[in-house]
Amino acid sequence: MTTIWAPAAASSTSLAIHGGAGARPSLLNPDEKVEYHRALEISLLAGKTILDAGGSAIDAVCASVMVLEDSPLFNSAHGAALNADGLAELDASVMLGSGEAGAITGAKIVRNPVLAARAVMERTKHVLLIDPDEQRLASWGLETVPRDYFITPARVAQLAKLQAQKSTGPQHGTVGAVARDRDGNLAAATSTGGTANQFVGRVGDTPVIGAGTWADSDVVAISCTGQGEYFLRQVTAHDIHARMRYGGADLRTAVADTMAALGDAGGLGGLIALDAAGDAVLVFNSEGMFCGHLENGAVITNV
């Protein structure tokens, strides 16, 4: 298991992001590594700019996640993994440290799923909606795109290979962010295309509050990535929160114990977590995880 520790900065704001566990850095050539580092850097800078200006944690995590959703490099929105029918079904969730949350699953036409999840939280009485339609998305002021917008040549090739092998792809690949703003508010956001060659209608942990995403400003904010079925069964994000809130564990201990339990159950993946003081942990038990964080104002990325 690999753990990255990022202590709180003097500025009192904190930010960490991930672009999916299950990454295999050994297969990337030098130019590809530069591309991934740059995309993660742009994502961090998008959130950092908001936090530095006194903006909210929710604005910061959504800004960071949108950058990753718009990039073809990551399994979310443009560049999402394709299901068995060769199409993208998108999941996303957001949660505020005050307890409000919103999520979508099976979305097909919204350009930035994280914004649809935020709209569910802010503009409805619900927490989780299935595939909001064009009319509803328009009423929320969100951009829609044709379904082929999400399809990239790399994902088409991946799906063809998996279907020839009659298998599903690595159950990894999600993007997410956690942040603490100047007022001490925490927020988390997560977005994914799921698993390559998955059954149509399959849902993983990302849109399930408590499994893939959690935030409590008094305790911790978390965004997960990995084999969604394991994160669902273990309620991974909330498990960390419970260890801290009810068991009195510190951040590093809670994350280590939860990841150990996940690994013992056979699950692979990772997560990013940020506590009330702004300390961050980025951890994964897979070969790699695209991720990054702020360290004393500097942007640090891991590929």
pTM for the full model? 0.96
CATH of the domain at 209: 3.60.20.30
Q: Does the annotation count 174 as an active-site position? A: yes
Each residue's pLDDT tens digit, 255-269: 999 999 999 999 999
Q: How many domains does the chain have?
A: 1
Domain that holds residue 269: 2-302
* Concatenated DSSP letters of the chain: -EEEEEPPPTTS-EEEEEEEE---GGG--HHHHHHHHHHHHHHHHHHHHHHHTT--HHHHHHHHHHHHHHSTTSSSSTTPPP-TTS---EEEEEEETTS-EEEEEEE-SBS-HHHHHHHHHHHSS-SEEES--HHHHHHTT--B--GGGG--HHHHHHHHHHHHHT----S---EEEEEE-TT--EEEEEEE---TTPPTT---STTSBTTTEEEETTTEEEEEEE-HHHHHHHTHHHHHHHHHHTT---HHHHHHHHHHHHHHTT--EEEEEEETTS-EEEEESSS-EEEEEEETTEEEEE-
Catalytic residue among 174, 190, 206, 213: 174
Each residue's pLDDT tens digit, 109-141: 999 999 999 999 999 999 999 999 999 999 999
Each residue's pLDDT tens digit, 214-240: 999 999 999 999 999 999 999 999 999
Residue 169: pLDDT band (50, 70, 90) is low
